[in-house]
Amino acid sequence: MSAAGNNRDGSRVIRPGGTIGVLGGGQLGRMLALSGRAMGYRFVTLDPTPDAPCGQVADRQIVASYDDAKAAQSLAEQSDVITYEFENVDADVTELLMRQSYVPQGSKLLYTTQHRLREKRAIEAAGVQVAPYAEIASAEQLREAVVQFGTPCVLKTATGGYDGKGQWVIRSLDEVEEAYDTLSRAKTELVLEQFIRFEKELSVIAARSPRGEVKAFPAAENIHINNILHLSIVPARTSESIQQEAERLAMRIAEALDVIGLIAVEMFLTRDGQLFVNELAPRPHNSGHYTMEACQTSQFEQHVRAICNLPLGSTKLLTPVVMVNVLGQHVEPLLDWIADPESERQPGVTAKVHLYGKQEAKHNRKMGHVNVLADAPEAALQWIEASNIWKTNQ
Ligand SMILES: Nc1ncnc2c1ncn2[C@@H]1O[C@H](COP(=O)(O)OP(=O)(O)O)[C@@H](O)[C@H]1O
Ligand SMILES: [Mg+2]
């Protein structure tokens, strides 16, 4: 199609006017489409739920399940380039899309990041350290590994986990049988990890384009509640040299894994200044939402630029920021706050509200986020505290 052309080095470029197909119609696809449409791209998304968050802002939504070959074919026909907003894309669907359309991110990175063991090996091969781990195939093996690592340690399913699901923190040898029985029901390999007594969790999102250009966003300090991301604080409250080291590690991983598009790298920082990579996500990431107002380029624009092979944008941080997630239980207090001129407002603090257009505000469901811009992260944290919005049900 006319939107596709070639760069001087022969790599393919998708110019604005072209159509980006997004597998998955959730909030990540929505923010990708909002950003890409501003640049003049068209969007078509595939998602089983009608009026999905991305469907609401895309040109079109194909309503079908992710493994529907006809629907995937239709997505391929309508798109100049295809991306995805979740990593558990079926291998057959990826193959079909790659045959019928252009999927610059390829299938290899998905294959690697869909499986914790493959992912850890790839990170190690890039020369980056992960928490000590062992593959577990039986309860006896688990017992031996627990003895070796000591408690606590964490048993995880190799595939399909998110927001702490598919995990068991083993606190004593008595739990070995139950932990093994419970997690082995998922019918996937298991991996045991040594528990890292981290001082902070950090993440860095890096982007790489087919031209080979690589850029990292500033490191975020992440705070989880019930294994769900609650806050991303930027700049991270740690030394500049650690922030830079985290950003270097993410770029090294992006290069070693031949990433096209975004890669989110979650890390543990220990008291003695060591960084261990926890996991990767080959897509926009919740801990990168702060970039939407706080950086010269958002993670979503950067992803569009990378998959379309435009030059990457500057990742410079414009202002300190704290991103706070809005879960189902926070929606009502947030809506009261936003409409009430009397509600907590703090000089020098600007709260940018993002809501994803989801119908049902279920408990702990990600409904939106707020980027709180301030002169210092502490002022943003104070605002979050004073607003009382995040007091509910935590
Ligand atoms: N080996 C570990 N040591 C210490 N904490 C861990 C370890 N693995 C996971 N956690 C904690 O659990 C959270 C979720 O684990 P993660 O592997 O990132 O799975 P998910 O796919 O659910 O995000 C992490 O952000 C961290 O707080
Ligand atoms: Mg995680």
| DSSP collapsed to 3 states, the chain | CCCEEECCCCCEEECECEEEEEECCCHHHHHHHHHHHHCCCEEEEECCCCCCCCCCCCCEEECCCCCCHHHHHHHHHHCCEEEECCCCCCHHHHHHHHHHCCCCCCCHHHHHHCCHHHHHHHHHHCCCCECCEEEECCHHHHHHHHHHHCCCEEEEECCCCCCCCCEEEECCHHHHHHHHHHHHCCCCCEEEEECCCCCEEEEEEEEECCCCCEEECCCEEEEEECCEEEEEEECCCCCHHHHHHHHHHHHHHHHHCCCCEEEEEEEEECCCCCEEEEEEECCCCHHHCCHHHHECCCHHHHHHHHHHCCCCCCCCECCCEEEEEEEHHHHHHHHHHHHCCCCCCCCCCEEEEEECCCCCCCCCCEEEEEEEECCCHHHHHHHHHHHCHHHCCC
Distance CA 334, CA 388 (A): 9
Residue type (1 letter), 85? E
Tell me the pLDDT tens digit for each residue of 268-310: 999 999 999 999 999 999 999 999 999 999 999 999 999 999 9
At residue 143's C-alpha, the angle toward residues 138 and 149, to 5°, is: 120
Residue 4 is predicted with a pLDDT of 80
Distance CA 266, CA 27 (A): 20
pLDDT above 60: residue 393: no
CA of 203 to the centre of ligand 2 (A): 10
Residue 321 is predicted with a pLDDT of 98
Residue 86 is predicted with a pLDDT of 92
CA of 150 to the centre of ligand 2 (A): 22
Residue 161 is predicted with a pLDDT of 87
Closest-approaching ligand to the CA atom of 114: 1
Residues with CB under 5 A from ligand 2 (ion): 266
Tell me the pLDDT tens digit for each residue of 230-260: 999 999 999 999 999 999 999 999 999 999 9
pLDDT above 70: residue 56: yes
- Protein residue whose Cα sits closest to atom 11 of ligand 1: 227
pTM of the shown model: 0.96
Q: Are 251 and 206 in contact (CB under 8 A)?
A: yes
- Protein residue whose Cα sits closest to atom 19 of ligand 1: 164
- Protein residue whose Cα sits closest to atom 8 of ligand 1: 154
Mean pLDDT of 322-349: 92
Q: How far is CA 156 from the centre of its chain?
A: 19
133 known member of a binding site: no
| Locus of tokens 């239980």 | 329
Neighbours of 99 (CB within 10 A): 10
CA of 280 to the centre of ligand 2 (A): 8
Whether cis (ω within 30° of 0) applies to the bond prior to 152 is yes
Q: Are 370 and 344 in contact (CB under 8 A)?
A: no
pLDDT above 50: residue 1: no
CA of 287 to the centre of ligand 2 (A): 10
Residue 3 is predicted with a pLDDT of 79
CA of 264 to the centre of ligand 1 (A): 14
301 known member of a binding site: no
Pocket of ligand 1 (CB under 6 A): 131, 154, 161-164, 193, 195-196, 201, 224, 227, 266, 278-279
Bridge partners of 264, per DSSP, are 205, 281
CA of 346 to the centre of ligand 2 (A): 32
Say which residues have a Cβ less than 8 Å from residue 92's Cβ, sequence separation at least 6: 67, 69
Q: Are 225 and 180 in contact (CB under 8 A)?
A: no
Question: Given pLDDT bands bounded at 50, 70 and 90, which one contains residue 394?
Answer: low
Tell me the pLDDT tens digit for each residue of 186-230: 999 999 999 999 999 999 999 999 999 999 999 999 999 999 999
Pocket perturbation via mutation, ligand 1, pick of 117, 129, 151, 167 by most ligand atoms within 8 A of CB: 167
Residue type (1 letter), 79? S
Ligand 1 atom closest to residue 198's alpha carbon, by position in its atom list: 4
pLDDT above 80: residue 343: no
Six-digit token string for 247: 């950003």
162 known member of a binding site: yes
CA of 130 to the centre of ligand 1 (A): 12
Ligand 1 atom closest to residue 131's alpha carbon, by position in its atom list: 1
Mean pLDDT of 33-61: 98
Ligand 1 atom closest to residue 164's alpha carbon, by position in its atom list: 22
224 known member of a binding site: yes
Mean pLDDT of the chain: 96
283 known member of a binding site: no
Tell me the pLDDT tens digit for each residue of 80-99: 999 999 988 988 899 999 99
Q: Distance between the two ends of the chain, CA-based, in angstroms?
A: 51
